[in-house]
Structure 1
Amino acid sequence: MKLRNLLTAALALLASASCIEAAGTKKLFNGKNLDGFYVEDGTATYEVRDGAIVGRTVLGSPNTFLTTEKRYGDFELTFEVKVDDRLNSGVQIRSWSRTEPEGKFKEGRFHGPQVEIEAGPGQAGFIYGEAMGGSWLSDAPKSEDKSVNTHDYFKNGEWNKFKIIAKGPRIQTFINGHKVEDLVDKKAYKTHPEGHIGLQVHSISKKKLGDAEFLEVSWRKLKIKEL
């Protein structure tokens, strides 16, 4: 009887700890509509379909971002994403709107660190400086060594689980449980210590579009925990 009571008490403690941990995590997307978001820069379209945000390319549009109204600094962000094999995409973090006077860059466009999303083997999970001088923040994509700058953690044509942890100048990324990046960039943190989160639909060329009318990228189960 005593052993059973101890097991019951232990399970109760575990359940309580789980609830406490879950209490700090919030839904970034409510699964029903785009409340709390606005569109930045381009003319690509976004809609809610079957509990997911679906972004669709528009020929001739520049990069487009579905952007959170709220800004975030240190956080843990998780989501699932599925993207057409021919479409480049990404998730902006700590990014600034081109219309915000306190923005550190005068690019006339949305700018900040971007966690890459693309079919594998590719560079998904590495970090690019969107409108931050046109270069990667991650070192791996700069290398000619394919074993370093690409990976096959991303499952083409399927939902993929991403986790992004941003704390101070350190940004870590994971895809389907595999660590991809562990970046410490004090320069990027100095200019972008906080900002919006943005879901990117990349510009598309007629050549890449081919016979298709449009390409799509979808996100679901977006959750964030501020640290």
Structure 2
Amino acid sequence: MTDEFRTLFDGSTLAGWRAIPRVYGRWNPGGPAVTDLMAQYGIQTPADPEAHPAIWTVEDGAIVGRQASLGYGGYLLSEETFGDFELVLEMRPDWPADTGVMVRRQRDSWEGFQILVDHRPSGGIGGFYGNGLAGFSAVPFAIDAVLDSKGLPIGLKVDDPAASAEPVTPDKIRRLSYAAKVEDFLAVWRWGDWNELRIRCVGGALPVITTWVNGLQIAQVDTAALRSPGYDPAAVGALLGERGHIAFEVHDHDSNFGEARWGPGAACRWRNIRIKEG
């Protein structure tokens, strides 16, 4: 790994990035289409997503992502591809906003490893999800919002497992080779302010991925050793290869979460994006 970081965002334009719609692919390599599985389970998603990509702008030196009308999401994809690297950036998502950073992302399909920034009820920050990789979930904890007397969010708290829409199970934690305690995360998270996310991705086609938030190690997953239903490391490595794109996500709505996944007018913000390769 080289000693120098270089910037991936010039602070004023989207040069080096391109917006693409949130289009689902297969559930796992060679497996069924995600949309077919959603229909099977009665989950409705926005129709014709290609016609409604998310809206990406540059505002006050930050990349800002918002849904298009009708709850449509999308991605902002790097033009470059990367192998082993360390990525550092600052993020500021509204509540609720279901977003994240994808690594080893494919250019023309949705597969890749996602570092979660699910700043929403039952969300996880700094854990992992496998887009098109059998939907594996490897997360250390889940969070919810502290509400004031008017019902407005004013901070984060531990998600209540009894009321959670996506409870953190022992299996989700066991998929990690390192998992932070939620109390430690809550102590460093800055509500309504910028937070630093650091991602290290090393190890070829099946990397070890590690995350930090504001200097606190949050999670680590070894994608070669990961065990989850339908996840085949050999097939994943063959599909993704040793290089891929980086992408930011704006999630769409679905009939399960609706506006609890992305609130009306919500945005995610990214700035000071820099990378060290090798």
Q: Check whether TM > 0.5.
A: yes
Report the residue type matching 1:144 in the other structure: T
Helix, strand or coil at the partner of 2:221: strand
2:216 is the counterpart of 1:178 = yes
Amino acid at match of 2:277: E
| Partner of residue 37 from structure 1, selected from 17, 20, 23 | 17
Identity %, equivalent residues: 27
Count of matched residue pairs: 194
Map of 1:218 onto structure 2: 269
In the TM superposition, what whole-angstrom CA distance separates every residue of 1:48-104 from its partner, at most 9, and x where no partner exists? Answer: 111100001124454411000110010010000000111110001111022xxxxxx
Structure 2 equivalent of residue 127 of structure 1? 128
| Residue equivalent to 2:245 | 196
Give 1:1-227 correspondences, 5 Å limit: 21=3, 24-42=4-22, 43-98=53-108, 109-119=109-119, 122-136=123-137, 138=138, 140=140, 143-144=168-169, 150=182, 151-152=185-186, 153-168=188-203, 169-186=207-224, 187=233, 188-192=236-240, 193-204=242-253, 207-208=258-259, 213-227=264-278
**SS of aligned partner of 1:118:** strand
- State the shift of 1:148 in Å: 6.8
AA of the residue aligned to 1:176: N
Cα offsets for 1:4-51 (capped at 9, x unmatched): xxxxxxxxxxxxxxxx93xx2110101110011111224110001111
SS at match of 1:76: strand
Match of 2:133, SS state, is coil
Letter in 1 for 2:110: F
Stretch moving more, 183-192 or 87-96: 183-192
Contact 1:125 1:173 in 2 (8 A): yes
Q: Is the 8 A contact 1:44 1:56 kept in 2?
A: yes
Q: Secondary structure at the match of 1:55?
A: strand
Structure-1 separation of matches of 2:9 and 2:61: 9
Residues 59 and 204 in structure 1, CA contact (< 8 A), matched pair in contact too: no
Q: Structure 1 residue 119: deviation in Å? A: 2.9
Q: Is the 8 A contact 1:71 1:195 kept in 2?
A: yes
Secondary structure, aligned partner of 2:14 = coil
Tell me if structure 2 keeps the 8 A contact 1:89–1:202.
yes
Q: Distance in 2 between matches of 1:67 and 1:204?
A: 20
Indicate the RMSD between aligned Cα atoms, in angstroms.
Answer: 2.8
Task: Indicate conservation of the 8 Å contact 1:59/1:203, yes or no.
Answer: no
Q: Is the Cα–Cα contact under 8 Å of residues 140 and 218 in structure 2 kept in the other structure?
A: no
